[in-house]
Amino acid sequence: MDSRYFEDLSVSGMARVAGLSKAHFSREFCKAYGEAPHQYLLTRRLERAAALLRTTDWPVATICSSVGLASVGSFSTSFRRVYGLSPTGYRASWPPAAQFVRIPLCVARAYSRPQNRTFREDGARGAT
């Protein structure tokens, strides 16, 4: 569940893989992990979504579907319940992702150097 949270997982599907009935699977899962499987999965998805809100510039809808949730509406509701802010409000409470993720500026600038520089030293070297 931890590594496949972004897939279309269902509790009955997971129970089937574990070879247990849905009710039995949920009971055993609760006993082992302290929360119901659907709650565990939702928590994992919301944690990932929060990380993506901080570290990417993806639209909220993209983040929602990339963590395996289908409805942006219910994603926003669940997110607010856990984090106390809407997804966009949460993102706004952090520094802009471009600063937060520490992009090495020398690298970024190397990509964006102007292509046709017309400094005099170019002419001094002659046509090459």
Partner 1 sequence: MGGPVIGGTVIGGTVIGGTVIGGTVIKIANSQFWVHDQDEALKFYTKTLGWEVRADVIVEAWHFRWLVVAPRGSDVGLVLMPVPGPPMLDADSSGALSELVAKGAGGTLFLETNDCRGSYEDLSARGVVFNDPPTTQPYGIDTSFRDPSGNNIRLTQVLPFDLSRASS
For residue 4, the one-letter residue type is R
Q: How many CB atoms lie within 10 A of CB 42?
A: 21
Q: Which is nearer to partner 1, 111 or 124 (CB)?
A: 111
CA–CA dist 10, 32 (Å, integer): 18
- Per DSSP, 100 falls in state H
CA–CA dist 88, 33 (Å, integer): 31
Q: Which is nearer to partner 1, 22 or 76 (CB)?
A: 76
Q: How many CB atoms lie within 10 A of CB 63?
A: 23
**Shortest distance, CB of residue 21 to partner 1, whole angstroms?**
25
**Shortest distance, CB of residue 100 to partner 1, whole angstroms?**
7
CB 18 within 8 A of CB 25: yes
**Shortest distance, CB of residue 55 to partner 1, whole angstroms?**
5
Q: Which is nearer to partner 1, 117 or 125 (CB)?
A: 117
Residues near partner 1 (CB under 8 A): 2-4, 6, 47-48, 50-52, 54-58, 66, 82-85, 90, 93-94, 97-98, 100-103, 107-115, 117
**Shortest distance, CB of residue 77 to partner 1, whole angstroms?**
15
